[in-house]
Amino acid sequence: MKYTKYILISLLILGLLLAAGCKSGKPSTTATQRGWFSKKGSETGLTFIGGVGNLEMQFTENRPPASVYVDTDFEVEVELLNDGEWIIPKDDITLTLSGVSPQEFGLSDLIKKPDSDLIPKKKDSEGNIIPPEAQYVVWTLNHKDKVVGNLPFPLQVDACYKYGTNAVTTLCILKDFTKAEENQVCYTNENKDFANSRAPIQIANVRQYPEGKKKTAFVFDVVHNGNGKFYKIGSNCDQGSTLNIAKVYVEIDSGVNGFECSGLKEGSCDANGACKGYADLRKDKDTIMCSLNINSATDYAKQVNIKLTYDYKQTINSQIVVKQS
């Protein structure tokens, strides 16, 4: 009887605590009720593999060799691996060998392309990561002229390719943006969750705040996290003009009439809530300001899709020592 009494008292206390929690009326902060994920304003990896990644390239072992004798064939071979989540068609990438005279080393073609498309990393329906397959590009060289002593020559390979980023986030649409009611389906005055595909340029710091009863602001940054250089899409990594340097083409699809963005160079928006234009990342970051004017009859969350495209350039270096016979 003594232990039964203690059990009954414990069950009564637990029931009172549960009832108090149900009647509190405070908005839930769980992932299910507040939004996509458990921590607001964070980057998530649920939609994409995520992280920073793009083309990985390196010279294969002993290609080029450390040294070679005059009038001896040798190869310069580069391994290419697409570590991001954006496909690189073989026609959208060029690799250029420099550092040596084509005539002196018997080179007829300094610019090459891989034989196949560079397929990116993938995530299957179970969340497993499927690694990419490597592609190879080879140059065959031969220094036929006589040399006095041993002469070192630099070897450099530049890769220029089209790349891109897919990103998603949410926009909260309310009948009245100025009201912060309990148990709302979404919230307007907060940092937003977002997700980026694996790439060197991504979105960050997504936030939304009210600007009036029927108007809300939607703001995000475009940032460069990679170690290469990037240029206006379609420029073939031409750094001869400042108009091409550090430009990213941004496409925002909100799907909501009344959605407009400023801060995009050569920008425009259409009646379906799609905006596009160039972000200027000469300081490795650009902030895009958007707003929404809407008279909504209901409260709801709307997915916003953002696509970034750009030309990206990377460089690797080595050397070859040509020895006299």
Interval 281-296: pLDDT, tens: 998 899 999 999 999 9
Question: Encoding tokens for residue 176?
Answer: 């009245």
Sign of the four-CA dihedral 236, 237, 241, 242: positive
Please write the tens of the pLDDT for every residue from 79-113.
Answer: 999 999 999 999 999 999 999 999 999 999 999 99
Please indicate whether residue 160 or residue 31 has the higher confidence score (pLDDT): 160
All domains in the chain, ordered by first residue = 31-42+163-313 (2.60.40), 55-162+314-323 (2.60.40.10)
Mean pLDDT of all residues in the chain?
88
* Number of other residues whose CB lies within 10 A of the CB of residue 154: 11
Q: Is the pLDDT of residue 2 over 50?
A: no
Which ranges in the chain belong to alpha helices (H)?
A: 2-23, 31-34
CB 153 within 8 A of CB 141: no
